[in-house]
Amino acid sequence: MARTRIPTSSPPSVSSVKVAPFKPPLQISEDHHLCPGCGHPVAWRLLLEVLSDLELDHRAIGVVGHGCYTAIATMSDIDWLQCLHGRAPAVATGLKRVQPQAAVFTLQGDGDMATEGLHEVLHAAARGESITAIMVNNGVFGDTGGQMTATTVVGQRTKTSLDGRDADAHGFPIPLADLVSNLPGASYVARGAVNNAGSIAQTKKFLTRAFEAQLAGDGFSFVEILTMCPTGWIIPTADGPDYVAGTFEKTFPVKQLKSNL
């Protein structure tokens, strides 16, 4: 006896409702070159879903940094400004100040925001700029081949910490969401993950609330999203979600940290 396959090449012939489309309305193309098992495309998808859900299609402007995730700027149908490594929160500040009606957000990795751009994000948060900063955090410079960043966790192997990050030699990772949540100018701060359906649903809520904070004129909103990078972590692809749960989340707890909503 064998299990019978159900055909999946076309929609069902019996009466049914589509409960989830392939891609969100603002996605132009799904043909990205990110690795199998990468968490970034899941985060992108949530972002684009939230923008449409909140009817920000004709108001959103994304300011994107440098990383594997930069490809989103070619694949999604909103205005984009690609900027220098780490500087997106400063660029977004200038943009929002002259286009206050736009929903301005940054999309940066941990290498971009927490490492090169720590100065910019903290000052934008302190000033309470009405922007939404989003950090996809996989604890590694993926795009450049897998070097250590400010959020690489102790024990994590990278090309510049081959024996695992050692606190004595390399210091400690920076829990950026926690840092930002301490600043009065930050009104909404959360850390999510995309390693399972539950965390994905929760992260979508966090993103929604972050944009709602911007729309309410409430100050700086911030969402850190733990994403998988099995390539940069030098682990089998299928182990990515468990690595997030078992290793990353111990250093970077997944939760909503602050909300004025």
Partner 1 sequence: MIDATTQTRGTVVIDVDRCKGCELCIPACRPGVLAMSEPDEVNVMGARYPVLFAGCTACRACREVCPDFVFEVYRFDEPQNLPARSPDPGSVADGADGGAR
Partner 2 sequence: MPTKLMQGADAVAEAALNVGCRFFAGYPMLPFTPLLESMAKQMKAVGGVCINASSEIEAVNMAIGAGAGGARVGTGSCGQGIALMQEAIAEAALNEVPFVVFNMARGQQDYFQCTRGGGWGDYRTITLAPKDVAEAVEHTQLLFHLADKHRGPVILYGDYLIADTFMSVDVSPREFGPLPPKDWALDGTLGGTGRSRQIWSWAMGKSNAPGLGPDGQWKRMAQKFRDIADEEQRHETFLVDDAEYVVVSFGTSSPFVDYVVEEMRAAGVKIGSFRPITLWPFPEQALADATAECRRVFVYEVNGGQMLDDVRLSVADRSKIDFIGGVSVDYSGMRQGEGLQVSSIRTAIAEAMKRGG
Beta bridge partners of 256: 190
Task: Return the closest-CA partner of residue 52 out of 211, 194, 221.
Answer: 211
The site partner of 75 among partner 1, partner 2, none (C-beta below 5 to 8 Å per kind) is partner 2
According to DSSP, residue 43 is labeled H
With respect to partner 1, which residue has the nearer C-beta, 167 or 238? 238
The position carrying tokens 């809520």 is: 205
Are 39 and 138 a contacting pair, CB within 8 Å? yes
With respect to partner 1, which residue has the nearer C-beta, 32 or 127? 32
With respect to partner 1, which residue has the nearer C-beta, 42 or 190? 42
The site partner of 163 among partner 1, partner 2, none (C-beta below 5 to 8 Å per kind) is none
As measured in angstroms, the least distance from the Cβ of 11 to partner 2 is 24
Indicate the pairing of strand 255-259 with strand 186-193: antiparallel
> Where does this chain bind partner 1 (CB under 8 A)?
1-6, 8-12, 14-23, 27, 30-32, 34-42, 45, 194-197, 200-201, 237-238, 240-241
The encoded tokens of residue 226 equal: 């733990």
Indicate the pairing of strand 79-82 with strand 60-64: parallel
Are 99 and 91 a contacting pair, CB within 8 Å? no
As measured in angstroms, the least distance from the Cβ of 179 to partner 2 is 16
Map residue 108 onto helix, strand or coil: strand
Beta bridge partners of 259: 188
The site partner of 2 among partner 2, partner 1, none (C-beta below 5 to 8 Å per kind) is partner 1
With respect to partner 2, which residue has the nearer C-beta, 117 or 240? 117
As measured in angstroms, the least distance from the Cβ of 136 to partner 1 is 12
With respect to partner 1, which residue has the nearer C-beta, 31 or 163? 31
The site partner of 87 among partner 2, partner 1, none (C-beta below 5 to 8 Å per kind) is partner 2
